Each structure stands twice: as structure tokens, then as C-alpha cells.
Structure 1
Amino acid sequence: MTTTAPEQTRPALAHRQILLLMGGLMTGMLLAALDQTIVGTALPTIVGELGGLEHYSWVVTAYLLASTASTPLYGKISDLYGRRPVLLFAISTFLVGSLLAGLSQDMTQLIVTRAVQGVGAGGLMTLAFTVVSDVLPPRDRPRYQGLFGAVFGISSVAGPLVGGYFAENDWRWIFYINVPLAVFALYVCSRVLRLVPHQRRDHRIDYLGAALMVAAVSAVLLALSWGGNEYAWGSPTIVGLLVVGAVLTVLFLVVESRAEEPILPPRLFKRATFTLANTATFVLGFAMFGSIIYVPLYLQIVRGATPTSSGLLMLPMMGGVIVTSIVAGRLISRLGRYKWFTVAGTLIMGAGLLLFTTLQVDTPLWQAFIYMTTIGVGLGLAIQPLVLAVQNALDLRDMGAGTSAVTFFRSLGGSVGVAALGAVMTNRLTEQMRGNGMAGVSINAPAEIRKLPAQMLAAVEHIFVNALHPVFLSAAIVALVGTLLTVALPNKPLQGAAPDTPAQTPTAEEMESKVAAF
């Protein structure tokens, strides 16, 4: 049976302080989420000024690699040393990386500083959820964590939109804009987190486990990023990286089973809720990231939208995520149950992906908006409850490591999904292009495709749309697997009393003393 730390170990923050803290955490998370999408739109402009076309993909890969590999480290280290210093380090690292990225004079400098940004982003993405779990009992968390889902929705649209705008003006502001936002997050989190005590305990850092984990994740992500792009999937480089990743993963598991303070405690996987929720998170990340990246491409190639306007056309999906995340968070908090929200979310998301398999060149835009909204609603329902499920099954001492595992598996699932579904897309597209005598046409430059003669353009549009169908069908099947996993989740109630009940509300004296301290 799972034991939990007593509720009185959490600080009784006033509502104003919680809102301020949420503002800082959401700002930090927005920075990290934005930088996953904002650079892609501006990359051609950046390469045009800095040169180094052969290093094009590394600008994205360096960020992804650093953020994913560092995520589990932040969770465990914050469990040992406290959230405040570790979160402030993450924000500061991201701030410095952003400033230096904006000052880059060549592609090598940009790649290195993007990696520095990624190291900071790994902490921003996971520690936001962890800090909320320190401050609030499980029953109260959904009302606030639902706002994090809204942040992801905003970043998915605002990233390409803002990136396109700055690409047309001054691309360096893609990175400079992070500086004042990071300073705000740094100030707020520093002030409010002073009120969240950390109980120190004897510990030993699992340096060997950390090194093996970073090396294993790096090898796998490099293989997934390069496979089918830089190198063929069957090339010695990709096969070698996958073999190295597998061997290092086995060594990591052996080391973790013997470590006193493991980075990712194996005992957590003995809990059904923890294992099922993280597996479902991996599957959700696979289906979500692996398929949704093709929606803006459809809007640009088939509908003739610019990179900036394609971001605006994604607003229905963003709206679905934002509204549903907030509403679902309040309902979960009131009902004290989360399971059927995530079941419904994965099912609705799967339905939305299935609808995209009917997409045609002449599909009305309003119809595509319905498909986007359906996926957005599904994501809004599914993402947050899986985090809650994991946190509700953990002791407070494991909250950082456990919560970071959710972020890690979602990012890893996204990386695998992008690679796997990208391979499906590439194979189908290559086959049809060759069959129609257009092997030299690339979809990587939508603006150039729009300049093709009308007859050839029409053929490319039909080929591209047909190649999309197996991608969305595969993603829908994967989402269905996620539904089955969430159905198997234990339907445990969230710990704590219902929100706004006397048992859950701090006394006036407690609130007054906390506000005075702040």
C-alpha cells in the first residue's frame, strides 16, 4: 500500500501567493514550450545570415536532446536539494542561453547556446508541476495545473506565429524576448518559493546512473533525429547509435537497481498507476507530436498559407486545448476523480486523428477546423489527468523524480513518434512522387511548391494529402492503445478534501502571517 506524507508538511499559502507563484511557473513553462516551436519558422532566415546549412537540423536537435536528457535529473536533484535553488538554476540557465543565442555570430555558437537553453528548459518543463504538488494537495491541483495545459495550447500556435513575425524583422528577438520574461519568472519564483520549506535528508548523488541515462537518451534521440534525414535507417551510424542506446539503457537499469539514491527509482514502476500512466503518456506523446506537426504543413502546401498565417489557422486546436484544460481541471478538483477524463481525452483525440484521414485537397477549411478542435479537446482532457495520476500515487519524497518521469516519457514518446510517423510519411511520399515522375520535388519548402505550374502543383497537393492519411491513421491507432492503457488505470480518488472546504482552507492567522512574510 502506498503511504503518503502528512498534509501538514505543505505550506499554507494565501490565494494571492498561489496566483503569483502560478504566474511565475506558467511564464517559465511558456518559455520552454515556445522554444520547441518558435525557431523552426525562422530557421531558413537564420541560416541565410549565419551560413552553415549543413548544421541546419542541429539547431533543433541540440535543444531537444538537452531538454529531454536533463528532465529526470532535475526531478531527483530537486528532491534532494529543494525546488527553489534547482528551479532558479533552470530559469537562469535558460535566460543565459537565450541571451547568448541572440548574440550568436555563427551556427556553431547558435547550436551550443541552444543546448544551454535546452538544459534550462528541461527543468522549467518538469519543476512547474512538481512545485505545485509541493504547495497543494492532490484535490486542489487540477484547478491550477489545468492552466499549464492552456500554456501548451498557446505555445503550439504562438511559436510559429511569433517565429514568423521575428523572421521577417529581426530573428535575434526570438531569443531576446525570453530575457525579460525569464527575469520576471526568476523574481516571482524566488520570492514565493522562500515560503516552501525543504526537509533536508542524507543523500548520495547517483553520478554513474545520471551519466548512463544522459548517454543512453542522447544516443537514442540522435538516432531518431538523424534516421531518414542525415543517414538511412539501416546505415551503420543509426544502427550503431540504437545498439549503443540499448546497451547503455540496460547498464542504467542495473546501476539504478543498486544505487542508494537512484535518479529514476525502479521501485516506482512496481506501482500500477505509475507504470500505466507513464506508458500512456509515452503513447500520447507519440500520437500527438508525431502527427500534429503535419497540420501546419498541410495548411501551407495545400491551402497556400504562410508560416505565420498557418499559426493563426491552428487557433481552433489551441482553443480546444485551453478551454478543455481549464474546465476539466475544475471538474476533476470538484469530483476528486481523474481516470475517465483521460480515457475520454485519448478517445476523442483518436477520433480527431481519424477524422484527418478523410482530409482532401478540396476539404472546406471549416471542416478542417472541426478536426483540429476535436484533437484539441482530446488533448485538453488527457494531458493533465496523467500527471495527477502519477503524483497521486507518490510519496512527497519521490514527487520530483516521479513528476519528471511524466515529462520525460512524453518528450521521448514525441521524439519516437516524429521519427516513426515521419518514416511512414516519407516512404509513402517518395513512392508516389516517383510514380508520378516528380522525384525531385521536396515538400520541405512549401513557398517554392506554390510556385510550381498549376498542373504540377495540383498533382503535388493530391500526393501530399494521400501521404498524410496513413500518418493520421497510424496515430489514431496509437491513440486507441492509449485509451486501453487509461482504462486499465486504477480509479483512485485524489487525496485531500474538496476545494474550499474548511479542512482545506488555511486559517485567517495563517494567511495573514504568510502574506506578511511575503
Structure 2
Amino acid sequence: MSCELKTPKPEKVEHKTENSDSQLTNTDFTAPKRWKLVLVLYLAGIGMGALDMGIVNPARTVIQNGLGIDDKVGVWVFTIYTLAYAAAIPVIGKIADIIGRKPVYVLAIGLFGLGSLGCGLAQDFSSLGLLLASRAIQAIGGGGMVPVATAAVGTIVPPPKRGMALGLVGMVYGVASVFGASAGSLILDIAGQENWQWIFYINVPIAIVVVGLGIWALPKETQDSSRRLDLPGILVLVVMTTSILWAFQNLDFTQIGESVKDRNVWVALVVFLILLPLFWVIEHRVADPIINFKYFGNINVGSTLLMGAVAGILMMTVMFIPQFAENCLRLPSGAGGYPTIIIGVGSAIGSPISGRLTDRFGPRRILGVGTAISTIAGIMLIFWASPHPGIISTSLSIFVMGLGLGFLMGAPLTYLILHLIPESDANSGQATLSLIRSLGTTLAPAILVGLLATAMGGLSGKVMEAMPEMPPMPTMAAIENSKSGMPQMKADMGFKMSDLPAPIQEKIKSADVTNVVDRTKEIANYLFDQQEAKIKAQMGTVPPGVEQMRAKYLQDIESHRDQIETAFQMGLNEGFSRLFWFYTILSLAGILLLAGLPSKHKIDAVINPDPSR
């Protein structure tokens, strides 16, 4: 069976495709003309969609300041993208199944480019409304690009090379996702923070080129005029998806009881629970459902989708690595994006290897390798990098994390979906996997932030314990009886962190390992200022000895710099350890899910059935 193209003519190789009963029949596989260009066009869309998920992160505060909005409003720049992206994924996937990939993919790229242009123009017009509307358009385009392109890549190459091609998809997606934040920082450095619109404008020429080449080069597909779009199911699914994601966006896992009482949470959950059985009824009554529930009844498909959710949650752990790296390596805030390049390198190595090995050993074994590597990475982060922070422990641990993610986010899951779901539903099947993974990536931050916040609550106490003992302040009687410049010390100036005003407390909570000592000096100055104000109010003057005491105490803090920084560093790493425990346990859960996945022998038996039977 030939697997390579020697001439520009279409190449036919024996290939088995699935019918509506998920059984495979013999057909001729035809590789499209200019298949290498077709592959590049699809990979370009996947790369743009993945890159955009992180490229805006470094510009969040810059955009907020430029438009004159606060954090509560600014978070909508991300929230509306998440909601629109997740809602669009299954809808566009089903449309692609009905009318073909080419028009849907080209339209999705065009919408992404149009949305990017609108986001850039929002700065010129200082319009938050234009920015939010354009981000929604961008997300709808992204919701079509990634799943449709992924499904297409899996079908334009001969089956023996399918795993390798999907490995390229995983590499492009994983590397682009990890490097998104670094790319955003680089663009801001080049264009200047006052020109944040270039973060969006960079997509426009790429989109134009891909649309033009796509119209010319992407292969046309035979349309099935008998299939009809499930409009009621689409409407209900969009509202359901938006509701559950909205609830997750507003749920605080550190105060779950109080958070559930929030109207934004409980109303959204009620809407979701009411619509879920309605959606089930609609999908069972239509001839061509947008999500076919019978696939969920198949243990192989169900396990694959659950593994997709696990992979999505594990992937979102990467968003906390910059802060972890800053703390371990004692880097200033904002510099943690550069160590994430190590994760990208690991993912770039793991993804293509997973693709090649999937062809040889099957997806179940490769997913097993990925979950095992992720488990090892979690153990390294918990027992090595967190308690013994340093460049070697941190770098090696996050490299192994990236390697594991490369195996999980690469070929195996898409390979399984393409072989477990009929080819006629390949796009919607891939879209379902993307939707489940998106739900995992949306749920993950709320849980992970909660785990980290539980440790942050006691962090200020650890810092105060590392500070030198606060000197006792003079009583009024001591001041009156003192005949020297230095008053006698009679009373201790003890205090609790909770006694400090909120802005001072917030300075400690928002401190990093590089500025925590300076923040503690601010606390000391505040306390001395408070005491001096009391003394001056009663005596009309402040003895010079108090200022000498202040200067000496600030020197003592400086002499304890290393102890204070270490206390902060280790205290914060305790929180990260809880986060990494969750990562490790979830990786172990992924290993258990392997039992529900088909072996390579079973997949081969479906692809190449015994003709004697």
C-alpha cells in the first residue's frame, strides 16, 4: 500500500471507512492534490486558534488601562471568547459534516481574521463594545478552525500515516498554546504597550493568505443533501453550554457554599439542569442529531471523551507554571513566561513521537505513556521542585510535564475518535471531543485557583514569622520620665496581620519573592507611623529615639532578607504542591480510563477485517 505521493495526481490507496453502524467497509482512499499544501493550511488554522488563546494574556492590564476599564469589566475580554468558542464548536462541526469542510473552514478563517481586525480597531476607536463583539466573532471562527482542521488532517493522509499526521497537529496545537503568552509579550515589546492592537492585527494577513489559498487548494467534498441541520438542538446546546460555563466562571471553589448562592452561579446551573433532559429528548427524536448520544453509550467513545476532559484539565495547569517558575527561580513578576518555553520544547518533542508510536503501538499504549509521564512530572514537582526550588529541579520537572502533555494532546485522542465514530460524522465527533476538552479547561482554573488560594491565606503569617521581632514601643510614662534622647521600652508593639488595613494586607498577598522584603518594610513603616502619630497627638512631639528604633528595625529586616524570601518562597510552594497533587491524582485517573479504550489489535480488526468472515 503506497503512502506517499510521487506525482501531483490523486493517489488511491486501500482504506476502510465507517458506515452509520460504525462498521468499516472497503473504499478507495484518494489523497487530495497538493496534499502537503492542504496539510499546511489546516495546521495554520490550528496554530492561529491555539496561539490566540494565550497571546492576549500579557496585554490584559494594558488593554484595561487603554480602554479605562477595571478588572471586573476587563475579564470579559477573555470570558466572552471562552463562551462563544465553546458554544460554536459542536455547531460548526455538525455544519461541516453536512455541507463539507472546505466552505466551513474557509468561512471560519475569514471570521477569525475579521474578528481580529475588529479587536485591533477597538483601540483606535477606544470602544469596549467593539472589542467584545469582535472577540465573539473571533471565537466563533476559532471554534470552527480547530476541530474541523483536526478532523480533516486525520483523513487526508493514508491510514498507516494518520498517527504521524495527527502528531503534527498535537505539536502545533501544544507549542502554539504554550508560546502564546511569550508571543504576546514579544509583540508588545516590539510595537510598544501603547500599540496593543498589533496583538490582533498580526492575525489578519495570515488569515487573508489562508483564505485565498484555501479557496484554491482545499479539496471539495460531496455534499449529502438529505441531511438537515438540527436547529432546535443547536439552540438548546448553545444555551446549555453558555450556562454551565457561566456558572464555572463565577464559581469560587475556596468558598463553595457562599459562591453557590451567587445568582450568577445558581441561576446558570438551574438553566443547565432544566435544559439537559430537554436536549436529550430533542436529540433522540431528530434523524441527524448535533450530538449523537449513542456514542456516549459506547464505553470506548465515552472513555475517549473522558480522557479528553482529563487532558484539557492537565493542560490548564500550565497557566500556573509562570508564577511557579518565578517563585522557584526568584524572578520578578512577568518574567515567568520565558521558563514555559521549556514546556513547549517538551511538548514539541512528545507530540510527533506520540504520533509515530500511535501508528505502531496503537493509541491506548501511547495515552498510557502520556499519563505515566504526567504522573512522574507531578511527583517531581511535589517532592523535588517545590521543596527544593532551583533551576535544575524546576527546569527538569516542567520539561517532563511538557513531554507528558505532548503525548496526551497529540495524536492518540483524535486517532481514536476518527476510528470509533463513522467518517460521515468525523467533524462533529472531533467537535464533541473539543467541546468536552473545553469544558475541562474551563472548569480547571476555578479548581486550581482554589487549591492555590487555600495556601495563600496562611502565607502572610509565614512571612511575619520570618521577620525579626518587632521592638517594644515606649509607654507614655516612659516618655515623660525619660531624661535621655532614647526612651525606656516598657510595652510591646504586637500586632496581627488582620489588624492592618486592607491595602497593606493586599500588598503582602500580591507580593512576589523579589519584593516581599520591601513590602514587609512598608508594613514596619506603617506600624511606626501609627505609633508616632499616637505619641505626637498626646505629647506634641516624637522623641528622636523612636526614629532611631525605626532605622534599626529596618536594618534588621534587611539582614533577614534571605530568611524572609525563603519563607515566602516555601509558603507559596506549599500551595503549588496542592495544585500538583491534583494534577498527579488526575493523571492516575487517566491511567484507569485506559481500561475503557480499545487495543491496537481491536482497532486493526476494524480497519482490516478478516475477509474470510
What's the TM-score, normalizing by structure 2? 0.75
Q: Distance in 1 between matches of 2:564 and 2:74?
A: 28
Match of 2:259 in 1: 233
Q: Tell whether the 8 Å contact from 1:55 to 1:107 is kept in structure 2 after alignment.
A: no
User: Within 5 Å, which residues of 2 pair with 1:201-350?
Assistant: 201-228=225-252, 233-237=259-263, 238-289=265-316, 291-305=317-331, 309-333=335-359, 335=360, 337-350=362-375
Match of 1:62 in 2: 80
Q: Distance in 2 between matches of 1:229 and 1:343?
A: 30
Deviation at 1:78, TM superposition (A): 0.6
Match of 1:511 in 2: none
Q: Distance in 2 between matches of 1:362 and 1:355?
A: 10
Write the deviation string for residues 204-257 of structure 1: whole angstroms up to 9, x where unpaired: 221111111111111111111122299952333212222222222222122111
Q: 1:46 aligned to 2:46?
A: no
Q: Distance in 1 between matches of 2:346 and 2:201?
A: 30
Q: Tell whether the 8 Å contact from 1:352 to 1:374 is kept in structure 2 after alignment.
A: yes
Match of 1:124 in 2: 145
Q: Distance in 2 between matches of 1:483 and 1:229?
A: 26
Q: Which has the higher contact order (CA 8 A, sep 6+)?
A: 1
Query: Which residue, 103, 127, 130 being the options, matches 2:121?
Result: 103
Q: 1:147 aligned to 2:168?
A: yes
Larger radius of gyration: 2
Q: Percent identity?
A: 26
Match of 2:469 in 1: none
Q: Tell whether the 8 Å contact from 1:24 to 1:184 is kept in structure 2 after alignment.
A: no
Query: Which residue, 396, 419, 427 being the options, matches 1:370?
Result: 396
Query: Which residue, 477, 490, 493 being the options, matches 2:603?
Result: 493
Q: Tell me the amino acid that sits aligned with residue 166 of structure 1.
A: I
Deviation at 1:264, TM superposition (A): 0.6
Deviation at 1:34, TM superposition (A): 1.1
Match of 2:32 in 1: 13
Q: 1:430 aligned to 2:457?
A: yes
Q: Distance in 2 between matches of 1:442 and 1:7?
A: 66
Change beyond 3 A, Cα 1:446–1:254: farther
User: Within 5 Å, which residues of 2 pair with 1:360-509?
Assistant: 360=386, 363-383=389-409, 384-433=411-460, 437=497, 439-441=505-507, 449=515, 452-453=519-520, 454=561, 457-491=565-599, 492-494=602-604
Query: Which residue, 25, 49, 52 being the options, matches 1:35?
Result: 52
Deviation at 1:176, TM superposition (A): 0.4
Change beyond 3 A, Cα 1:73–1:286: same
Change beyond 3 A, Cα 1:160–1:145: same
Q: Tell whether the 8 Å contact from 2:303 to 2:594 is kept in structure 1 after alignment.
A: yes
Q: Tell whether the 8 Å contact from 1:71 to 1:123 is kept in structure 2 after alignment.
A: yes
Q: Distance in 2 between matches of 1:285 and 1:414?
A: 5
Write the deviation string for residues 426-484 of structure 1: whole angstroms up to 9, x where unpaired: 23322444676374247667599565344765543332211111111012101111111
Query: Which residue, 96, 104, 107 being the options, matches 1:89?
Result: 107
Change beyond 3 A, Cα 1:449–1:35: farther
Match of 1:188 in 2: 213
Q: Distance in 2 between matches of 1:443 and 1:117?
A: 35
| Stretch moving more, 470-479 or 310-319 | 310-319
Q: Tell whether the 8 Å contact from 1:296 to 1:310 is kept in structure 2 after alignment.
A: yes
| Stretch moving more, 365-374 or 245-254 | 245-254
Q: Distance in 1 between matches of 2:296 and 2:400?
A: 32
Q: 1:356 aligned to 2:381?
A: yes
Q: Distance in 2 between matches of 1:92 and 1:32?
A: 12
Q: Distance in 1 between matches of 2:309 and 2:508?
A: 31
Q: Tell whether the 8 Å contact from 1:139 to 1:336 is kept in structure 2 after alignment.
A: no
Q: Distance in 2 between matches of 1:305 and 1:377?
A: 24
Change beyond 3 A, Cα 1:344–1:480: same
User: What SS does the corresponding residue of 1:11 show, helix, strand or coil?
Assistant: strand
Q: Tell whether the 8 Å contact from 1:73 to 1:263 is kept in structure 2 after alignment.
A: yes
User: What SS does the corresponding residue of 1:203 show, helix, strand or coil?
Assistant: coil
Q: Tell me the amino acid that sits aligned with residue 351 of structure 1.
A: I
User: What SS does the corresponding residue of 1:165 show, helix, strand or coil?
Assistant: helix
Change beyond 3 A, Cα 1:307–1:234: same
Change beyond 3 A, Cα 1:449–1:240: farther
Deviation at 1:408, TM superposition (A): 1.0
Q: Tell me the amino acid that sits aligned with residue 13 of structure 1.
A: P
Q: Distance in 2 between matches of 1:117 and 1:445?
A: 35
Q: Distance in 2 between matches of 1:263 and 1:57?
A: 31
User: What SS does the corresponding residue of 1:7 show, helix, strand or coil?
Assistant: strand
Change beyond 3 A, Cα 1:22–1:96: same
Q: Tell whether the 8 Å contact from 2:507 to 2:519 is kept in structure 1 after alignment.
A: no
Write the deviation string for residues 469-511 of structure 1: whole angstroms up to 9, x where unpaired: 11110121011111110233111335668xxxxxxxxxxxxxx
Change beyond 3 A, Cα 1:293–1:444: farther
Deviation at 1:263, TM superposition (A): 0.7
Match of 1:72 in 2: 90
Instruction: State the number of aligned residues.
Output: 491
Q: Distance in 2 between matches of 1:143 and 1:307?
A: 39
Q: Tell me the amino acid that sits aligned with residue 254 of structure 1.
A: V
Q: Tell whether the 8 Å contact from 2:386 to 2:577 is kept in structure 1 after alignment.
A: no
Q: CA RMSD in A?
A: 2.5
Write the deviation string for residues 46-68 of structure 1: whole angstroms up to 9, x where unpaired: 11111111311111111111111
Q: Tell whether the 8 Å contact from 1:300 to 1:307 is kept in structure 2 after alignment.
A: yes
User: What SS does the corresponding residue of 1:270 show, helix, strand or coil?
Assistant: coil
Change beyond 3 A, Cα 1:267–1:140: same
Deviation at 1:307, TM superposition (A): 6.5
Q: Tell whether the 8 Å contact from 1:349 to 1:379 is kept in structure 2 after alignment.
A: yes
Q: Distance in 1 between matches of 2:461 and 2:278?
A: 44
Q: Distance in 2 between matches of 1:109 and 1:456?
A: 46
User: What SS does the corresponding residue of 2:362 show, helix, strand or coil?
Assistant: coil
Q: Distance in 1 between matches of 2:361 and 2:387?
A: 45
Q: Tell me the amino acid that sits aligned with residue 432 of structure 2.
A: A
Q: Distance in 2 between matches of 1:445 and 1:206?
A: 52
Q: Distance in 1 between matches of 2:368 and 2:199?
A: 37
